[in-house]
């Protein structure tokens, strides 16, 4: 297992296109930038420097100006992949499959191991899969940009920003949220009200998926979303959840939840009587005069975002 996002990147490029660390570093680094008082192009001739300072770099060790333009690097990497693996749609589909099955989980794990939100990377990958462009080559190119920025900087939030800007400016597309229809709901046992400290526990099917995520009492609150990089963000969500979907905050002794103009909406299942209460209707069903009023949440309630993302509200005791 790769111990840093940079390690996951270089291992992934080797797996995807048989690109060794030296060649990858030559492509990714800006040769005219200076590192340690010397030009990087001079230091890239030393294998131990590549391994120690670049491949095994930790998040934040290497700043963005040390790298070549990421879209340029991704294009060169893609060309090498096509040269070594084949450029026909079937060959590229095999590369994409390997990326999704091997490189994505490795990068997510490496980010998590370094204390970075790996879910944010996974959500970005899923969002790229929903882009309007159906051409396998273009989609793989976008994936490579996102993969490279994440690996080089160890910062999936910056990678999302960079990739989205490129897609919007150069490919006239967006990393939007796909509309879904709610077809199933999770039911749980009622719990008492009167909460002080609350946390959210993700529920998938009828099983809980730890950890319990405490909600902050900071006035800004906690944001649940697929592509939000806020320090108090909760990003363990499915692909139909918007980038910033729902805000939860503590005010005047009450916990409140409010929609953030999400695509697929949110609702609450009461832990007392199992009644469903809309927090924010899906955008397609939202009337022009929809009042986006905060909804109070309690211990035992279930928050439902989009079609399948469920969180059980749990009281935290000292």
Structure tokens at 58: 């930790």
CA-to-CA distance for 186 and 162, rounded, in angstroms?
36
pTM of the model: 0.75
Tell whether the model's pLDDT for residue 191 goes beyond 60: no
- Tell me the pLDDT tens digit for each residue of 92-150: 999 999 999 999 999 999 999 999 999 999 999 988 887 665 689 999 999 999 999 99
Q: 3-state DSSP helix/strand/coil percent for the chain, to nearest 5?
A: 40, 20, 40
- Single out the residue of 35, 26, 22, 38 nearest to residue 66, CA to CA: 35
The predicted model gives 1-11 an average pLDDT of 92
The predicted model gives 301-314 an average pLDDT of 95
Q: What 3 state SS string does 204-240 have? A: ECCEEEEEEEECCCCCCCEEECCCCCCCCCECCCCCC
> How would you label 243-253 residue by residue, b for 16+ Cβ within 10 Å and e otherwise?
bbbbbbbbeee
- Which class for 273: exposed (0-12), middle (13-18), buried (19 or more C-beta within 10 A)? exposed
CA-to-CA distance for 54 and 21, rounded, in angstroms?
9
Give percent above pLDDT 70 in the chain: 90
């Amino acid at each position: 297992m790769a111990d840093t996002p940079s390690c996951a990147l270089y291992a992934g490029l080797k797996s995807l296109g048989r690109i060794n660390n030296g060649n990858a570093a030559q492509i990714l680094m800006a040769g005219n930038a200076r590192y340690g008082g010397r030009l990087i192009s001079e230091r890239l001739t030393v294998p131990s420097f590549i391994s120690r300072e670049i491949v095994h770099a930790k998040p934040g060790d290497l700043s963005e100006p040390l790298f070549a333009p990421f879209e340029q690097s991704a294009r060169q990497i893609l060309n090498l992949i096509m040269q070594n693996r084949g450029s026909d749609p079937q060959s590229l589909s095999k590369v994409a499959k390997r990326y999704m099955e091997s490189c994505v989980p490795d990068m997510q794990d490496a980010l998590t191991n370094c204390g970075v939100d790996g879910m944010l990377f996974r959500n970005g990958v899923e969002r790229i899969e929903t882009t309007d462009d159906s051409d396998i080559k273009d989609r793989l190119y976008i994936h490579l940009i996102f993969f490279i920025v994440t690996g080089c900087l160890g910062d999936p939030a910056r990678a999302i920003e960079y990739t989205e800007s490129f897609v919007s400016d150069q490919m006239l597309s967006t990393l939007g949220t796909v509309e879904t229809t709610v077809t199933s709901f999770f039911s749980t046992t009622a719990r008492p009200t009167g909460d002080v400290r609350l946390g959210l526990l993700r529920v998938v099917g009828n099983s809980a998926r730890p950890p319990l995520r405490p909600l902050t009492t900071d006035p800004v609150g906690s944001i649940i979303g697929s592509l939000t990089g806020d320090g108090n963000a909760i990003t363990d969500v499915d692909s139909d959840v918007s980038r910033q979907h729902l805000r939860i905050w503590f005010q005047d002794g009450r916990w409140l939840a409010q929609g953030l103009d999400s695509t697929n909406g949110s609702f609450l299942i009461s832990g007392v009587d199992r009644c469903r209460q809309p927090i924010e209707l899906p955008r397609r069903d939202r009337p022009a005069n929809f009042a986006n009023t905060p909804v109070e949440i309690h211990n035992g309630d279930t928050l439902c975002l989009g079609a399948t993302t469920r969180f059980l509200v749990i009281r935290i005791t000292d």
